[in-house]
Amino acid sequence: MLHPDRVLMGPGPGNPYPEVIEAFGRPVIGHLDPDFICLLDETNERLRQVFQTSNPLTFPVSATGSAGMEATFVNVLGPDDVVVVGVNGVFGERMCDVASRCGADVIRVDAEWGAAIEPQALLDAHPSPKVIAVVHAETSTGVRNDIAPIGLGKGDALLLVDCVTSLGGIPLEIDRWGIDLAYSGTQKCLGVPPGLSPVTVSPAAISGFVDKPQSWYLDFSMIANYVTGGGTRAYHHTAPISMIYALHAGLGVVLEEGLSNVQARHQECGDRLQEGLVQRGFELFAQEGHRLPELTSALVPSNRLPAGVSEADVRRQLLSDYGIEIGGGLGPVAGQVWRIGCMGHTARQRNVTLLLGALDEILI
Ligand SMILES: *Cc1c(COP(=O)(O)O)cnc(C)c1O
């Protein structure tokens, strides 16, 4: 391995904070040990601060972001419940798949890849859906979808938001924006390796829980006693102790630096990267005004590739010669765009400088 210290500038994971790596070294204790329960409570409280919510039911699901997606859908959607889903990339598509497996009646509102979803189009799609679901930060395109206007106009619907690539990276206010169910991931902007999915659930969403969700493992009513149950904790499943240590440490870094300072660091890195790319003749892919700082998408500069070198060759060379990972395009834009992440500990100016310098050396 040429570069053990890889710079992870793909669509995720970002580099973990050093404090997080250190946390994995702590001794493993029992999942009902009072010291562990205390650490879990503290982790949940830190999550409330980062999610900007007072929801008591806030905790990390023991699996990756997609499990958070599945958990939030399966607890509020049963056969024939109506859900409106915004789709402008891979993760909106995944939401439709998950919702239809719950037996729900799925109404899609599509926008082009690279464009943002019109909040009003979601609100107009059905007069009384049980759930309106949308991705905040579409990692497959680098687009930010507006959430607050949906919360304002949602009426009795529950608002379900994918915050996997937004939590800790860009402003996100669960309570103020009227979000009822949200899930995230540890490996994007929180600077922790993959493995947990922080979720938060409003009291209104709890009132809307289906009687018997079609999943045992992800049934929030059953998990709640173990993860947020105060003094009466009982076994539900064995918490991944070391991952909780890691999340606790990552959230600690974010809160110590200050949530708004961390978001500002992501914004500065994204701005500098996007300006640097434009100066070099790149065309940015995501709609202006909706560009994520933590995930930059740009069209592959095919006129600047050396003779006989493909875009995938350039990405391979970045990895082998410079230790930098960036991502390729997915779905309709496979082979046409690059996706560059500045997430968590990766969101540092020096990483932006390193990548732009490497591109200057590789491209013609
Ligand atoms: C990464 C990602 C997911 C899926 O998370 P996994 O941890 O890969 O399961 C879901 N939604 C968005 C927007 C993502 O970026």
What DSSP string runs through 94-145?
HHHHHHHHTT-EEEEEE--TTSPPPHHHHHHS-SS-SEEEEESEETTTTEEP
Cis peptide preceding 13, ω within 30 of 0: yes
One-letter amino acid identity for 281? G
Contacting residues for 300 by C-beta, under 8 A, at least 6 apart:
311, 329, 335, 336, 337, 338
H or E element: which one contains 181? Answer: strand 181-183
Confidence at 229, pLDDT banded by 50, 70, 90? confident
- For residues 249-265, average pLDDT: 98
Please state the domain count of the chain: 2
Mean pLDDT over 136-154 rounds to: 98
Give the pLDDT band (50/70/90) at residue 5.
confident
For position 27, which CATH number holds? 3.40.640.10
Q: Flag whether 1 is in a domain.
A: no
Q: What is the per-residue pLDDT for 3? A: 56
**Encoding tokens for residue 118?**
């019109």
Pocket test of ligand 1: the residue of 96, 97, 139, 192 to mutate, having most ligand atoms within 8 Å of its CB, is 139
Same domain, 245 and 277: no
pLDDT tens digits, residue range 292-337?
999 999 999 999 999 999 999 999 999 999 999 999 999 999 999 9
Claim to verify: residue 137 and residue 252 sit in the same structural domain: yes
279/252 same-domain check: no
Residues 248 and 264 in one domain: no
CA quadruple 127, 132, 136, 142: dihedral sign: negative
| pLDDT, averaged across the chain | 96
Residue 141 placed within a domain:
yes
Closest atom of ligand 1 to 137 CA is 13
- Of ligand 1's listed atoms, the one at least distance from the Cα of 194 is 7
Q: Contact 94/72 with Cβ under 8 angstroms?
A: no
44 φ/ψ angles, rounded to the nearest 5 degrees: -65, -40
CA-based nearest residue to 200, from 239, 236, 240, 172: 172
2 pLDDT above the threshold of 90: no
How confident is the model at residue 28, as a pLDDT? Answer: 97
Q: Is the CB of 185 under 6 A from ligand 1?
A: yes
Q: Is 64 domain-assigned?
A: yes
Cα–Cα distance between 24 and 27 in angstroms, integer?
A: 8
Do 320 and 182 share a domain, yes or no? no
Confidence of residue 84 (pLDDT cuts 50, 70, 90): very high
C-alpha 360 to ligand 1 mean position (Å): 31
| Beta strand pairing call for 295-299 and 324-328 | unpaired
Q: Ligand 1, residues 87, 135, 165: which to mutate, most atoms within 8 A of Cβ?
A: 165
Query: Which atom of ligand 1 is the closest one to the Cα of 186?
Result: 7
Is 191 exposed, middle or buried, given 0-12, 13-18 or 19+ CB atoms closer than 10 A? Answer: buried
Among 241, 257, 273, which residue terminates a domain? 257
Chosen domain end from 257, 272, 298: 257
| Helix and strand counts by DSSP (H, E) for the chain | 12, 13
Looking at the structure, tell me whether residues 252 and 273 fall in a common domain.
no
> 269 and 173, same structural domain?
no
- From the CB of 294, is ligand 1 less than 6 Å away? no
Q: Is residue 2 part of a domain?
A: no
pLDDT per position as a tens digit, 44-64? 999 999 999 999 999 999 999
Contact (Cβ atoms closer than 8 angstroms) between residue 174 and residue 52: yes
Query: Which atom of ligand 1 approaches the CA of 197 most closely?
Result: 7
Measured distance between the N- and C-terminal CA atoms of the chain, rounded to whole angstroms:
27
Asked if residue 338 has pLDDT above 90, the reply is yes
92 lines ligand 1 (CB under 6 A): no
Is any ligand 1 atom within 6 A of the Cβ of residue 300? Answer: no
pLDDT of residue 143: 98
Query: Do both 252 and 262 map to the same domain?
Result: no
Asked whether the beta carbons of 342 and 26 are under 8 A apart, the reply is: no
Q: Look at residue 4 and tell me whether its pLDDT is greater than 80.
A: no
User: Please, which residues have CB within 8 angstroms of residue 26's CB and are 6 or more apart in sequence?
Assistant: 242, 245
Shared-domain flag, residues 209 and 273 = no
Domain end among 192, 224, 257: 257
Q: Which atom of ligand 1 is nearest to the CA of 91?
A: 11
Report residue 300 as tokens: 């592959």
Query: Tokens representing 52?
Result: 């900007």
Segments forming the whole domain that contains residue 149: 18-257
Distances (CA, A) of 170 to 26, 69, 146: 30, 20, 12
Where residue 12 falls among pLDDT bands split at 50, 70, 90? confident
Q: How far apart are CA 316 and CA 78, in angstroms?
A: 45
Residues 28 and 66 in one domain: yes
Q: Which two tokens stand for residue 313?
A: 């060759």
Task: For residue range 23-46, list pLDDT tens digits in order.
Answer: 999 999 999 999 999 999 999 999
Q: Which residue has the tokens 């497959």?
A: 140
Q: What percent of the chain has pLDDT above 90?
A: 96
Pocket of ligand 1 contains residue 91 by CB under 6 Å:
yes
Ligand 1 pocket test: pick from 8, 61, 62, 66 the residue with the most ligand atoms within 8 Å of its Cβ: 66
Q: What does the pLDDT average to over 162-181?
A: 98
Residue 127 pLDDT level (bands cut at 50, 70, 90): very high
Domain identity same for 288 and 229: no
Among the listed residues 97, 120, 125, 96, the one whose alpha carbon sits nearest the alpha carbon of residue 109: 125
Percent of the chain with pLDDT over 70: 99
Indicate if 23 and 157 belong to the same structural domain. yes
Q: Residue 307: which CATH number?
A: 3.90.1150.10
Does residue 343 have its Cβ closer than 6 Å to ligand 1? no
CA atoms within 13 A on the CB side of 352: 22
Pairing of strands 57-61, 137-138: unpaired
